[in-house]
Amino acid sequence: MALGRLLHHHEEHAEAGGTIDRPRAYEIFTSIGFIGGRRAAYTRLATAARPRAGDQVLDVGCGTGYLSRIMAPVIMPGGRVTGIDPSPAMVDHATRRAPANCSYIVGEGQDLPFPDGSFDLVVSSLAVHHMPVKARPQALRQMFRVLRPGGRLLIAEFRPPVNPLGRRIVGALSAPAMRHSPRDLLGTLIPDAGFEVESEGDLPYLLYYVRATRP
């Protein structure tokens, strides 16, 4: 499948909850999408999540594990990242590149197989738009459930360019989720799940974030 069609293919199956099963192609696609600045973009996301030494972190929709690998050294000593993704191919790719304090399992955000209050921090980057629309509220409720009281949440999504030329290029080449406001995509999902929103806004590299806490 051509790289330009990779995310289109997934979006066509969004209502049914399809998966991205070509990790190498996805890595190349995201590297191109961030115009060579993928590490800088994900470092920004990791910084926005405010990880701390000793944190138990859950990465929902972890994909190839890129964000978790950036966060892994920051939460040492004692911290650990668990990644979950519905694609076995993505989980296998992430596992083969995992640092000692990262592990990955196959699963869905709307059915997290972890006890209540298991994590200090939950992150989900560029993943909510891949979830079936009807499953998104349950996924946020699950994130709330597995966080301890006082635990933190970071959700990041694409945002379309502001300038008209950039919007036309994104419209021609990207998945539908990149053509619409992430504020519209997320709506009130986060506060409706019980979270208290602390901050939200734009980051470089066409990213938008919401940071929240579980009361």
**How deeply is 5 buried, as exposed, middle or buried, from its count of CB atoms within 10 A (0-12, 13-18, 19+)?**
middle
> Helix or strand or coil: residue 196?
strand
**Tokens 């066509």 appear where?**
12
CA distance 5 to 171: 13
pLDDT tens track, the chain, 215 positions = 333 333 334 444 444 444 555 555 445 445 444 445 678 888 999 999 999 999 999 999 999 999 999 999 999 999 999 999 999 999 999 999 999 999 999 999 999 999 999 999 999 998 998 899 999 999 999 999 999 999 999 999 988 766 554 444 444 444 555 556 888 889 999 999 999 999 999 988 789 999 999 99
